[in-house]
Amino acid sequence: MNANGPDYPLRLYSVVIPARNEEACIAATVEQIHAMLTAAAVPHEIIAVDDGSTDGTGAVLAQLAARIPQLRPVNNPGLNGFGRAVIRGIEAASGDALVVMMADGSDDPSDAVRYWQVLGQGWDAVFGSRFIRGGSVSGYPFHKLVLNRAANLFLRFLFNVPCNDITNAFKAYRREALDGCRPFLSPHFNLTVELPLKIIVRGYSWTVIPISWRGRRAGASKLRIKEMGSRYLFIALYCWLEKYFSRGDYRVRRPQPPPPAESRAAKAR
For 163-209, the pLDDT digits (tens) are 999 999 999 999 999 999 999 999 999 999 999 999 999 999 999 99
Structural domain harbouring 217: 13-251
Examine residue 76 and state whether it is found in any structural domain, yes or no: yes
The contacts of residue 267 (CB under 8 Å, 6+ apart) are: none
CA distances from 166 to 95, 128, 169, 190, 246 (A): 23, 8, 8, 11, 22
Examine residue 242 and state whether it is found in any structural domain, yes or no: yes
Q: Domains in the chain: how many in total?
A: 1
Residue 253 and residue 202 in contact, taking contact as beta carbons nearer than 8 Å: no
Q: Does residue 269 surpass a pLDDT of 60?
A: no
Q: For the segment 66-103, what is each residue's pLDDT rounded down to a tens digit? A: 999 999 999 998 899 999 999 999 999 999 999 999 99
Task: State pTM to two decimals.
Answer: 0.89
Residue of 8, 7, 9, 29 lying closest to 17 (CA atoms) = 29
Examine residue 91 and state whether it is found in any structural domain, yes or no: yes
Residue 229, pLDDT score: 80
Q: What percent of the chain has pLDDT over 90?
A: 81
Q: Does residue 264 surpass a pLDDT of 50?
A: no
Residue 263, pLDDT score: 47
Main-chain dihedrals φ then ψ at residue 178, nearest 5 degrees: -60, -45
Residue 115, pLDDT score: 98
